[in-house]
Amino acid sequence: MAFSKEEALHFLQKATTEDRLGHAYLISGNLHAGARLLSEEVAALVLGCGPLHVLTHPDFHQIAPESKSRKILTEQIRKLEEELHLKSQISSYKVAVIEDADRMVPAAANAFLKTLEEPPERTLLLLLTTLPEALLETIRSRCILLSIHSKEERPLEEKEKKVTLLMEKFFAPGAPTDATAAFQLARSFQALLGEAREEALNAAEEEFNAEKKHYSKTTEGNWENQRDEYFKASSEATALEQRTFLLGSLADYFGARLRAVYKENHEQKMSENETKCLLRSLDAIESLRRSLEQGIQEALALEAGFLELMQNYQGNCS
C-alpha cells in the first residue's frame, strides 16, 4: 500500500480506533523525509503520549545500526526481544522501532524472524527501511507494508536531476573507477554543494533585507546585528540540510538500481555480485555521511568518501 505520510498516519489511527492494528509494519521510505517521523507519531498514538515525549517513554524501544560496519547485530535483536517480553511499564502496549532494518546481519534477521512469528502480546513492531527488497522475504511477508512514496512518480527537483546525471556519467558501464575519477566526482559534487550554499545565502539575505526595511525604524539599534547573525546561522543550517538532501540523492541512485535488479530477478536468484556491489556502494555513502556529521573537513571527507565508493564499485555493478 502506498501513502503519503499523513495518509499512512490516518490509516494507522483508524486501525487503532477499530482495534485491528497489526503487530508488524514495514515502513518503506526516506528516513529523513518522513518514515522516522511517522514511526514516532504512530508510537505516540499507541502509547498514549505526545510525539515529543515518545523517545523517552519506558515502553518505547528502538534499535539502529551501531557497529563499525553499520550493521544491526544479533546481540541487539536479542536484547530487544528480552525487553519486549517484559511487562509494559506505563502503557498497555509496547512499541519497538528498528531503523534501517535491511542492515540486520543474517543471524540477527533470523533471530528477529522468530519474534515476528511469535510476537509478544500487545506489542507493535515498526521496521523502517529505504530498501525493503534487501530484507528477507520471510520477514517482508510477515509485515504489513506501508510505502510512504507517492503512488505517482514524484518529479525530480533540479538538484536531484543534476545528481542523477552526475552519477550516470561516473558510473556508466566502462567508466573509470580509479582515484582520478573519484577526485573528479568529489569536485563535481562540491560544485553542487556550492550552488546550494549560494542559494541558501541569497535567500537569507533577501529575507534579512525585507525584514530590515520593515522593522529597522521601530526597533533598538542592536537589532540589525542580532538579526544578521541569525540569518547567517539560518543560511548555514539550510546549506547543511541541502547537503543531506544531495547525499540522499546519491543513495537514491544506487537504491533505485538495487530495486531494478530485484525486480528483474524476482523469479530467480538475484545477481550476487551486482547486489553485493550496490549494497557496498550504499555503505560507502553512509560512511561518507557519518564522516561529514562528525565534522571532518568537507573537501577531505568527500575525496575519501568517493574514493571508497569507487573502490567498492570496481565495475562489478554494471
Residues 283 and 206 in one domain: yes
Task: Please check whether residue 288 is in contact with residue 302, taking contact to mean a CB–CB distance below 8 angstroms.
Answer: yes
Q: What's the confidence (pLDDT) of residue 315?
A: 54
pLDDT digits (tens, 9 = 90+) for 229-275: 666 776 777 778 788 888 888 888 887 887 777 666 544 455 677 77
Domain boundary among 119, 147, 175: 147
Judged by DSSP in three states, 129 sits in: strand
Residue linked to cell 554543494: 193
pTM, to two decimals: 0.54
Q: What's the confidence (pLDDT) of residue 237?
A: 74
Residues 292 and 197 in one domain: yes
**Secondary element (H or E) of residue 128:** strand 123-129
> Which residues of the chain fall short of a pLDDT of 70?
1-2, 30-33, 67-69, 149-156, 204, 207-231, 234, 262-271, 314-318
In angstroms, the CA 209 to CA 215 distance is 10
Domain contains 153 = no
Q: What's the confidence (pLDDT) of residue 282?
A: 84
Q: What's the confidence (pLDDT) of residue 151?
A: 44
Task: Please check whether residue 285 is in contact with residue 305, taking contact to mean a CB–CB distance below 8 angstroms.
Answer: yes
Residues 201-210: contacts with CB under 8 Å, at least 24 apart:
201/235, 201/239, 203/235, 203/238, 204/231, 204/232, 204/234, 204/235, 204/238, 205/231, 205/235, 207/231
pLDDT digits (tens, 9 = 90+) for 133-167: 778 889 998 999 888 864 444 556 788 889 989 99
Q: What's the confidence (pLDDT) of residue 188?
A: 95
Write the CB contacts of 284 (distance below 8 Å, at least 6 apart in sequence): 305, 308, 309, 312
Closest CA to 283 of 309, 246, 303, 250: 309
CA angle 270–164–318, rounded 5-degree value = 35
Question: For the chain, how big is the Rg over CA atoms in Å?
Answer: 22
In angstroms, the CA 102 to CA 124 distance is 18
Domain contains 318 = no
CATH of the domain at 96: 3.40.50.300
Domain boundary among 127, 147, 167: 147
Specify the amino acid at residue 315.
G
Beta bridge partners of 146: 27
Residues 107 and 163 in one domain: no
Total domain count, the chain: 2
Write the CB contacts of 181 (distance below 8 Å, at least 6 apart in sequence): 170, 175, 310
Structural domain that includes position 244: 158-313
Residues 199 and 124 in one domain: no
Residues 220 and 77 in one domain: no
Residues 50 and 70 in one domain: yes
